A and B are shown apart, each in its own frame.
Chain A
Amino acid sequence: MELLFGTCLALFEPKMLLSLCAGILAGIVGGAVPGITITMTIILALPFTFGMPSLQGLATMIGVYIGGSAGGLISACLFGIPGTPSAIATTFDGFPMARKGQPGRAVWLGIWASCIGGLLAGIPLIVGATQLAYLALNFGPWEYFSLFILTLSIVASLSEQSLVKGLIASAFGLLVTSFGADPLMAIPRLTFGWDFLRTGFPFLPILIGVFGLSQIMSDMEKSGIVSDGPVFDRDVDMKVSHLAVIREIFAQPVNLIRSTLVGLWIGILPAVGGSAANILAYDQAKKGSRHPEKFGTGIPEGIIASESSNNANVGGSLITMMAFGIPGDAVTAVMLGALIIHGIQPGPMFVVTNTQIAYGMFAAYFLAHPLMIILEGAFLRFALPAVRLPQHILAPIVLVLCVIGSFALNNIIENVWTFFIFGVLGYGMVKTGFPLAPLILGVILGDMIETNFIRAIMTDSDWTLFITRPWSGVMLALAVLSFGYSLRQRRRAAKRAVAAAESEADIEF
């Protein structure tokens, strides 16, 4: 606790505080602009953190993450367009409430619910990340290998379209990390005689390309401007009684705690993210409500459920990232990349050996929430019209920043080409129904899977140890279960679809 307060005080240094505020503000703006996701915002913020000390850079990113998670609700409530996928469910009740003439109430209910949900998730973040990291210290290469396989299997199984496409994306991610020097003996392989590939593909340009370029190109398919929607009235009254709003949130303790727990749990699951958390929390709130028929008409329950869950999701994602070095979502994937750039090895040793930075991240997480309230209030007053930027202005600026982010990694143009190639690949994958998250997770975990796999075999050639060691065996069993469950669900869904099609054909006949 002392360490937490100590690092909290360090964050009050002007430089730190300024970086945290800049991150939160960037997150709010990025979250509020439809078409720019939190992932994109954090990618754009990345090059600015290269020259900063580790904690300052990470605090900036945490600011972006928290600001972005709350920023998406602004356009969701006022324009009916979720600024980020994690604010989709906020639109269901936030927009109707704003149209009823209560835009201030809709927005501030969301902001305060985000803040309270995020702060509640902060406690499990500190306890969970530390305890899980200590547990992981007892893991050998067999357990690590099984943990990473479990992670990949969960992510591939959760792919919406096709299980085999999710698995192919994961395996392709693993293949990408096979290029260049092998992690144990540093012998180059699959280089085709090209010097650039001797060190393998750099991770960040891949990530920026797959998520950044493919997202912009997908947006470009839509002919109009990104932020079409009802025209925002500059003079709209956003004033509310903050005390009344807070009282309204605390009047629903079950909804608040349930949604926070849903967000936290989804955050802990690798690569699922806030987009699933807010919809699941909204669905649970509706099922648990005494008046489910009122959901979607502009009631506070829906806004509270969605917004408390998406900010709690941030806490959950950080737990997985800090305890195991596994990203909870694309945003924490970028943060992992930033850790490596700053010379910090992610994994369970991170919390143990970099205590100051780990606790600094906890402190930044807590501090960012009240700061988010202040900055979001200022944003609503002064900068709201800026969220309606047309795409032909937004896209080139975003792409320029993506190029700088890729180039600045080690000042070589090949990184920009990597960004371009993986951007084209990412767009192609989106168009052919291949999910992007398993690919990125494969790229992040590839080296660690290989290292632990080879280490396990070199330590003891007995393959059965992967199954007979308790933790390793349990995790592999869970991986098989998750895979089997997903396969069964998809078969049942396919059967239902065929039955529905047949009954429809009968009716037509």
Chain B
Amino acid sequence: MHRDTGIGIGLLALCALLYWQAGLVSAPPFVPIGPAFYPRVVLLLLAGLALWLIVEDLLRQRSPAPVKAKPTQPAPNYRRVLLGFIVFFGYVAGLSFVGYPAATFLFVLGLGWSIGPHSVRELLKLTVIAVGTTLATYLIFEKYLYVFLPRGLLF
């Protein structure tokens, strides 16, 4: 199955789920249009567009494939992106458990190390940056701007 067709089918499924969910809202009897009316209009519009996407994709598959130009840039490094998302997910999850200072220190160090060069000098540099970022943001936001950052087990 082609990518856009898959996205279109996924959108249709989402529309169906949300259309059903919108029907569960109890509408007050004294108003002509209930709160489910607008979401349902948007969902019908989105479903129509998803069908258009699928049809356009199927028609494109039928027509002769255009001549592909040779890539001029190196292939994207998706491993780094995946690592980035995993480390960032860990950071967001860790904020509520260990608190902002510890989670931020580990995140800056961890992400910098996982996507950067590996050497003792780099590790030392990253440690200094992690401590500096944690301290600077903590002091500026907590002590000066009174923005209370997430608390956890360690702080």
Contact = CB atoms under 8 A, between A and B. Distances in A.
Interface of A: 47-48, 50-51, 162, 164-165, 167-168, 171-172, 174-175, 178, 182, 184-185, 187-190, 192, 213, 216-217, 220-223, 390-393, 395-397, 399-401, 403-404, 407-408, 411, 413, 416-417, 420, 424, 427, 432, 450, 453-454, 457-458, 461, 497-498, 501, 504-505
Chain A contact surface mostly? helix
B112 A393 contact: yes
Given A175-B39, A399-B88, A217 B81 contact: yes
Nearest to A187: B35
A164 B77 contact: no
Interface string B29-62: 0011111111100110110011011001000000
Nearest to A502: B64
A222 B73 CA distance: 10
Contact of B95 (A172, A217, A413): A413
Chain B's interface size range is 35 or more
Interface of B: 3-4, 7, 11, 18, 21-22, 25-28, 31-39, 42-43, 45-46, 49-50, 52-53, 56, 63-64, 66-67, 74, 76-78, 80-81, 84-85, 88-89, 91-92, 95-96, 104, 107-108, 111-113, 115-117, 125-126, 129-130, 133, 137, 140-141, 145-150
Majority secondary structure of chain B interface residues (helix, strand, loop or mixed): helix
Contacts of A190: 18, 21-22, 39
A391 B115 contact: yes
B78 A221 contact: yes
A458 B31 contact: yes
Contact of B80 (A187, A220, A393, A400): A220
A497 B149 contact: no
Contacts of A411: 147-148
22 contacts: A47-B145, A48-B145, A162-B56, A171-B42, A178-B42, A185-B28, A217-B81, A222-B76, A223-B74, A392-B113, A392-B116, A393-B112, A393-B129, A396-B112, A397-B129, A404-B149, A408-B147, A420-B88, A432-B4, A432-B7, A457-B32, A498-B63
A433 to B, nearest CB: 8
Contacts of A164: 49, 52-53, 56
Given A48-B140, A408-B147, 20 more contacts: A48-B145, A174-B42, A175-B43, A185-B35, A189-B21, A220-B115, A222-B74, A390-B116, A391-B116, A392-B116, A396-B108, A396-B130, A397-B108, A399-B88, A400-B133, A408-B141, A416-B92, A417-B92, A427-B81, A454-B33
A167 B49 contact: yes
Contacts of B38: 178, 182, 450, 453-454
A417 B89 CA distance: 9
A498 B96 CA distance: 55
Contacts of B95: 403, 407, 413, 416
A171 B52 CA distance: 13
Contacts of B56: 162, 164
B46 to A, nearest CB: 4
Contact of A47 (B31, B43, B107, B141): B141
